[in-house]
């Protein structure tokens, strides 16, 4: 299978990529690792006129600490997020998610920025980054702006980014002490994509939960913020009974679509199970 | 750059198995077809052509990747290693030897991909557990031998590369 013909330009700076994006307009498409885009082009689901390659821009790859956040360059590979000492120390839930994306070869090529900007409803990073309250730094020819993750994923394969913007950084707050993060996923047995997944960030103090964020994937057009579960957890001592009761509300007010693998009812049920797994794992890490 | 230049072939320089190649490629040329059809390195196979099966796995700057899902232009400036570049003269790489010793192949179609994946695994994790081997092989499909002997082949290679006296 071959993609339809297209033009190719390698960008060597974000500014150059922005100029190319402005120049090519709707015909231009940004290429990062290409592990969502190239399969879509081979299937002729997408036929961009010109690919603007970001892979040739230095400085968009790597993970650093800036004040109380981890800053992850948009071109950082899944494999490097999964194996990063900084990520494993501060945000093990993010490493969990990175290590179960696709397979080893995909993780060696796919990028966090590409995954986030593609906004596949069955992807892992959008879910865990929603749980972790990340923010997305985007650039355009007129300047930078930062978009909160809760505002970012607006629909299937659609984000709050404008067509002339490039995602350059993912900023993830380092949680305060007493916090734990985790990600639990039911993968489709053939594709490895998310059937249902859950990301959790739990912060405890003096034996009770002071804050909780839980995001669920697979139930809608993007990550769903499980507000009802968070309310059930907050202010309580997280006994197994409390966690079970809270997780049982993880699929409230959702209307997942049925597909050939899973019915809507099954997805809603499994969401409560994976919510519980993620909360339990986060609580176990918070206790350490 | 003119529009004509953007839509035409792109000049790339790629080092494959230690040999530098200057080539003109159409932007839509996939790396696997560049290797097979422009360079004649047909040891890298096209299986599913949808980044599922791993038959096309090569090392790109040392990392195992699926060459059916990478454009040749993205490999500009990179080093590629294929199955043809593994042996040292007549001496097989230990992973190749392991697949022979432990019957890790039957028809052989998937084998180059499994071997390149295993080479990357053992370079990053020289003493993997069975579970780690299986996790690393998730992106490679075999339809005839089954996976038991493939895991045994990689364990044999790990032992040999670790200096153990391995049985034949």
Q: What is the pLDDT of residues A102-142, one digit of tens each?
A: 999 999 999 999 999 999 999 999 999 999 999 999 999 99
Domains and CATH numbers, chain A: 7-53 (3.30.43.10), 63-173 (3.30.465.10), 179-286 (3.30.390.50)
Q: What is the DSSP string of A226-276?
A: -HHHHHHHTTS---HHHHHHHHTTTTTT--PPP-SS--HHHHHHHHHHHHH
Minimal C-alpha gap between B139 and chain A (Å) = 5
Tracing tokens 């200096």 back to the chain, one arrives at B163
Share of chain A above pLDDT 90, in %: 98
Q: What is the DSSP string of A128-146?
A: HHHHTT-EEEEEETTEEEE
What span, in angstroms and rounded, lies between the C-alpha atoms of A84 and A106? 17
Those residues whose C-beta lies under 8 Å from the C-beta of residue A267, and which sit 6 or more positions away, are: A195, A196, A218, A219, A251, A256
What spatial distance separates the first Cα and last Cα of chain B, rounded to whole Å? 59
Judge contact between B161 and B94, C-beta under 8 A. yes
- Residues A142-188 have pLDDT tens digits of 999 999 999 999 999 999 999 999 999 999 999 999 999 999 999 99
Closest residue on chain B to A3 (Cα):
B28
Share of chain A above pLDDT 70, in %: 100
B2 pLDDT above the threshold of 70 = no
pLDDT band (50, 70, 90) for residue A227: very high
pLDDT at B165: 87
B1 pLDDT above the threshold of 50 = no
- Residues B116-156 have pLDDT tens digits of 999 999 999 999 999 999 999 999 999 998 899 999 999 99
Q: Would you call B139 an interface residue with chain A, using a CB distance cutoff of 8 Å?
A: yes
B21 pLDDT above the threshold of 90 = yes
- Residues A46-83 have pLDDT tens digits of 999 999 999 999 999 999 999 999 999 999 999 999 99
Among A105, A111, A114, A187, the strongest candidate for a mutation testing the B interface, having the largest count of B CBs within 10 A, is A105
Name the DSSP letter for residue A163: T
Question: Minimum mean pLDDT among A148-152, A252-256, A260-264, B4-8: which range?
Answer: B4-8
pLDDT at B122: 98
pLDDT band (50, 70, 90) for residue B24: very high
Domains and CATH numbers, chain B: 3-85 (3.10.20.30), 94-161 (1.10.150.120)
Give the residue numbers in A contacting B (CB under 8 Å), as ranges. Answer: 1-10, 31, 34-35, 38-39, 41-42, 50-51, 53, 55-56, 79, 102-106, 108-109, 190-192
Judge contact between A215 and A131, C-beta under 8 A. yes
**Mean pLDDT, residues A220-236 taken together:** 97
Minimal C-alpha gap between A237 and chain B (Å) = 36
pLDDT at B166: 85
pLDDT at B4: 44
Taking residue B77's Cβ as centre, other Cβ atoms within 10 Å add up to: 12
Judge contact between B115 and B92, C-beta under 8 A. no
Mean pLDDT of chain A: 97
pLDDT at B7: 61
Full 3-state SS string of chain B: CCHHHHHCCEEEEEEECCEEEEEEECCCCEHHHHHHHHCCCCCCCCCCCCCCCCCCEEEECCEEEEHHHCEHHHHCCCEEECHHHCCECCECCHHHHHHHHCCCCCCCCCHHHHHHHHHHHHHHCCCCCHHHHHHHHHHCCCCCCCCHHHHHHHHHHHHHHCCCCCCC
* Cα within 13 Å of Cα(A67), Cβ side: 3
How much is the pTM? 0.96
What span, in angstroms and rounded, lies between the C-alpha atoms of A90 and A174? 6
pLDDT band (50, 70, 90) for residue B167: confident
- Residues B63-112 have pLDDT tens digits of 999 999 999 999 999 999 999 999 999 999 999 999 999 999 999 999 99
pLDDT at A288: 63
The ipTM, to two decimals, is 0.95
What span, in angstroms and rounded, lies between the C-alpha atoms of B73 and A19? 21
- Residues A269-282 have pLDDT tens digits of 999 999 999 999 99
Closest CB to A105 among B7, B71, B139:
B139
Contacts of B117 in chain A (CB under 8 A): 104-105
B 91-110 residues inside an 8 A Cβ radius of A: none
**Mean pLDDT, residues B45-54 taken together:** 95
Q: Tokens representing A148?
A: 């909160």
């Amino acid at each position: 299978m071959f993609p339809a013909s297209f033009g190719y330009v390698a960008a060597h700076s974000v500014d150059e990529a922005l100029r190319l994006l402005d120049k090519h307009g709707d015909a231009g498409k940004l290429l990062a690792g290409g592990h969502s885009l190239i399969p879509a082009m081979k299937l002729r689901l997408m036929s961009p006129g010109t690919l603007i390659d970001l892979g040739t821009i230095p400085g968009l790859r790597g993970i650093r600490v800036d004040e109380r956040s981890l800053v992850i360059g948009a071109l950082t590979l899944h494999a490097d997020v999964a194996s990063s000492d900084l990520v494993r120390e501060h945000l093990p839930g993010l490493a969990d998610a990175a290590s179960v994306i696709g397979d080893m070869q995909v993780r060696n090529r796919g990028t966090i920025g590409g995954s986030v900007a593609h906004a596949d409803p069955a992807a892992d990073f959008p879910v865990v980054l929603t749980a972790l309250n990340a923010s997305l730094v985007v650039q355009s020819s007129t300047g930078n702006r930062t978009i909160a993750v809760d505002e970012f994923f607006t629909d299937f394969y659609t984000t709050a980014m404008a067509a002339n913007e490039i995602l350059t950084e993912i900023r993830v707050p380092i949680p305060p002490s007493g916090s734990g993060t985790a990600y639990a996923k039911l993968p489709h047995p053939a594709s490895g994509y998310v059937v249902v997944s859950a990301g959790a960030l739990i912060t405890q103090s003096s034996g009770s939960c002071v804050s909780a964020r839980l995001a669920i994937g697979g139930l809608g057009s993007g990550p769903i913020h499980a507000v009802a579960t968070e309310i059930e957890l907050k202010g309580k001592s997280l006994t197994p009974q409390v966690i079970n009761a809270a997780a049982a509300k993880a699929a409230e007010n959702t209307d997942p679509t049925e597909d050939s693998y899973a019915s809507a009812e099954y997805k809603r049920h499994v969401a409560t199970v994976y919510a519980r797994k993620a909360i339990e794992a986060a609580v176990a890490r918070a206790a350490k | 750059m003119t529009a004509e230049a953007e839509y035409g072939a792109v000049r790339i320089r790629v080092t494959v198995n230690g040999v530098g190649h200057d080539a003109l490629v159409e932007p839509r040329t996939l790396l696997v077809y560049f290797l097979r059809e422009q360079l004649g390195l047909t040891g890298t196979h096209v299986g599913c052509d949808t980044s599922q099966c791993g038959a096309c796995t090569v090392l790109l700057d040392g990392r195992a990747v699926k060459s059916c899902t990478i454009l040749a232009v993205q490999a500009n400036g990179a080093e590629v290693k294929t199955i043809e570049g593994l042996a040292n003269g007549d001496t097989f790489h230990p992973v190749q030897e392991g697949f022979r010793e432990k019957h890790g192949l039957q028809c052989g179609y998937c084998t180059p991909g499994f071997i390149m994946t295993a080479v990357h695994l053992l370079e990053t994790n020289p003493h993997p557990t069975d579970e780690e081997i299986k996790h690393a092989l998730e992106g490679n499909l075999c339809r005839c031998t089954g996976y038991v002997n493939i895991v045994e082949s990689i364990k044999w290679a790990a032992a040999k590369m670790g200096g153990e006296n391995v049985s034949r």
